[in-house]
């Protein structure tokens, strides 16, 4: 049955090629939930990285909303908007979010030599 | 090997590479493609990998020919299917708890009217019912083409509705890919032929490679040096200490988190381990001999991810652990070995007594 085996091999290679293409393309166009990218791309200097964080006021983010909060963070990051506009933007997009929530910009600074990472909150706003 | 299908596969690879390259040029010149500044790298890498595939086609052909020769016991193949179905059912039940169907589906650009229909409870209920109805048909291989497509589609729709913005969670990607593998198996291979029963397992090897190769690429090409020097990992855990009120002193890091936070060297080591094992996972489809070791390493990686970042990849862990080796055959071998050993011991003892 060598012919049959060869056929299977071709089919498998074909599937590999087509799926690589689909998978790479689909991830390219849909996956922006990668925090490392946000950290890297928002770097203002090679050693500093800032990120937006959204928290519900009581620190308790309902489980079913967790993923949406992550997406809200992405929206703010994507638009690189000021925080007041970000409040409006998020409220418009996620009407069911808690009444009040906070957006923080936390930056990390990496010092070479000492190998230390220092974190500080650069900006914060309560959206009401 | 110069037959028509060989040429056509090569042509397809070339065409797809060209499409990738065109997208890449388009993305860096116009920035019309979303987030082109970093996602363009994926396209370039995708194109280059396919060019490599075309150039080394003969070698790939041999690797895949060896793959098709792999033999597995019937109980192992059936067991894999059952494990997959259990994971799918589990993930779907968990999804239902999250009150899905409130997020719009944006993986396709749909009009508001269509989205309105999709988030209707009636539609959601139908999806759920279809998923659970298709499970027994899929397991028993009754109308396999229809049942596998239904299961894969309903699972993917359910997961995209559950996760934010119509995307699938990272922990369900692999499950969905393997389900698609079953769809391809039923459509393109003669599933009634006993010699083809190993195909879903082989397709799983292919998809595992794809999945981890992309994770590896993402870490290298998106974060550039940030992952390699452990910066990303340390930042991720450090950010857990913040909340709306500022520094959250209630956060108590576990042992692994403490080690990462206190020792940059340990963090570096773990980051490098991630990169190395994900790269090996990416090429594991071509390395039959060391695949079990690589899969065990990937299981370890996911356990580490759970304890350091708190992200659960239960589906991946179970699938990888199951694919390490043909467990039913190994158990049987172990049983026979033990039995022979005990038998030998008894015989020796009896002879000793007689003597």
How sure is the predictor about A76, in pLDDT bands with cuts at 50, 70 and 90? low
Tell me the two tokens of residue B34. Answer: 């979303």
Q: Is B152 on the interface with A (CB under 8 A)?
A: no
Which chain B residues are closer than 8 Å to A67 by Cβ? 103, 162-164, 169
pLDDT at A84 over 60: yes
pLDDT at B325 over 70: yes
pLDDT at A36: 37
Between chains, do B42 and A102 touch, taking CB under 8 Å as contact?
no
pLDDT at A52: 65
Q: How far apart are CA B265 and CA A53, in angstroms?
A: 28
pLDDT at B204: 96
Q: How far is B245 from chain A (nearest CA, A)?
A: 8
Is 0.90 surpassed by the pTM of this model? no
Between chains, do B19 and A21 touch, taking CB under 8 Å as contact?
yes
The DSSP secondary structure of B111-149, one letter per residue, reads -HHHHHHHTSHHHHHHHHHHHHHHHHHHHTTSSHHHHHH
Task: Give backbone dihedrals phi and psi of A101, rounded to 5 degrees, phi first.
Answer: -150, 165
Interface test with A, best of B223, B230, B248, B271 (most A CBs within 10 A): B223
Which chain B residues are closer than 8 Å to A102 by Cβ? 244
Which chain B residues are closer than 8 Å to A20 by Cβ? 16, 46, 49-50, 210
pLDDT at B32: 38
Q: Which residues of B335-349 are buried (b: 16+ CB within 10 A; e: fewer)?
A: eeeeeeeeeeeeeee
Residue with tokens 């929530």: A101
Between chains, do B12 and A121 touch, taking CB under 8 Å as contact?
no
pLDDT at A39 over 50: no
Interface contacts (A, B; CB < 8 Å): 181
Q: How far apart are CA B168 and CA B77, in angstroms?
A: 27
Contacts of residue B5, defined as CB under 8 A and 6 or more positions apart, other chains included, come to A7, A10
How sure is the predictor about B100, in pLDDT bands with cuts at 50, 70 and 90? very low
pLDDT at A63 over 60: no
Interface test with A, best of B67, B216, B243 (most A CBs within 10 A): B243
Lowest mean pLDDT segment, chosen from B11-25, B195-209, B249-263, B306-320: B11-25
pLDDT at A61 over 80: no
* DSSP 8-state assignment for residue B196: G
Between chains, do A8 and B199 touch, taking CB under 8 Å as contact?
yes
CB B245 within 8 A of CB A124: no
Q: Is B242 on the interface with A (CB under 8 A)?
A: yes
């Amino acid at each position: 049955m060598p012919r049959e085996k060869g056929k299977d091999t071709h089919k498998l290679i074909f599937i590999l090629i087509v799926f690589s293409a689909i998978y790479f393309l689909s991830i390219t166009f849909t996956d922006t939930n990668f925090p490392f990218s946000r950290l890297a791309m928002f770097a203002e200097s090679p050693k500093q990285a800032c990120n937006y964080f959204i928290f519900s006021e009581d620190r308790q983010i309902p489980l079913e909303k967790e993923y949406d909060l992550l997406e809200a963070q992405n929206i703010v990051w994507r638009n690189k908007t000021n925080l007041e506009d970000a409040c409006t933007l998020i409220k418009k997009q996620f009407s069911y979010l808690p009444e009040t929530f906070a957006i923080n910009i936390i930056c990390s600074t990496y010092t070479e030599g000492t190998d230390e990472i220092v974190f500080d909150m650069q900006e914060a706003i309560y959206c009401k | 090997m110069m037959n028509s299908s060989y040429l056509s596969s090569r042509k397809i690879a070339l065409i797809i590479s060209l499409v990738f390259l065109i997208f890449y040029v388009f993305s860096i010149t116009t920035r019309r493609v979303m987030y082109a500044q970093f996602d363009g790298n994926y396209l370039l890498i995708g194109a280059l990998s396919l060019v490599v595939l075309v150039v080394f086609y003969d070698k790939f052909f041999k690797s895949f020919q060896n793959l098709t020769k792999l033999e597995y016991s019937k109980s192992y193949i059936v067991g894999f299917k059952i494990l997959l179905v259990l994971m799918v059912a589990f993930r779907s039940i968990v999804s239902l708890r999250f009150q899905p169907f409130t997020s719009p589906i944006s993986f396709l650009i749909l009009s508001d009217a269509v989205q309105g229909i999709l988030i209707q409870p009636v539609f959601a209920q139908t999806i759920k019912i279809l998923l659970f109805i298709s499970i027994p048909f899929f397991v028993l291989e009754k109308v396999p083409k229809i049942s596998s497509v239904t299961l894969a589609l309903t699972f993917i729709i359910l997961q995209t509705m559950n996760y934010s913005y119509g995307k699938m969670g990272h922990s369900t990607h692999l499950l969905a890919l393997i389900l698609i593998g079953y769809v391809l198996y039923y459509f393109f291979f003669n599933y009634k032929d006993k010699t083809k029963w190993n195909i879903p397992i082989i397709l799983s090897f292919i998809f595992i490679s794809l999945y981890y190769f992309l994770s590896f690429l993402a870490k290298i090409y998106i974060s550039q040096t940030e992952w390699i020097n452990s910066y990303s990992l340390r930042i991720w855990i450090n950010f857990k200490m913040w909340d709306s009120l500022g520094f959250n002193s209630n956060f108590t890091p576990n042992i692994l988190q403490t080690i990462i936070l206190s020792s940059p060297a340990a963090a570096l080591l773990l980051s490098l381990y991630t990169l190395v094992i994900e790269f090996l996972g990416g090429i594991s489809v071509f390395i039959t001999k060391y695949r079990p070791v690589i899969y065990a390493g990937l299981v370890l990686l996911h356990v580490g991810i759970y304890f350091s970042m708190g992200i659960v990849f239960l589906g991946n862990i179970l699938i990888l652990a199951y694919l390490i080796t043909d467990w039913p055959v190994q158990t049987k071998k172990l049983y026979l070995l033990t039995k022979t050993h005990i038998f030998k011991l008894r015989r020796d003892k009896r002879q000793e007594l007689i003597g």
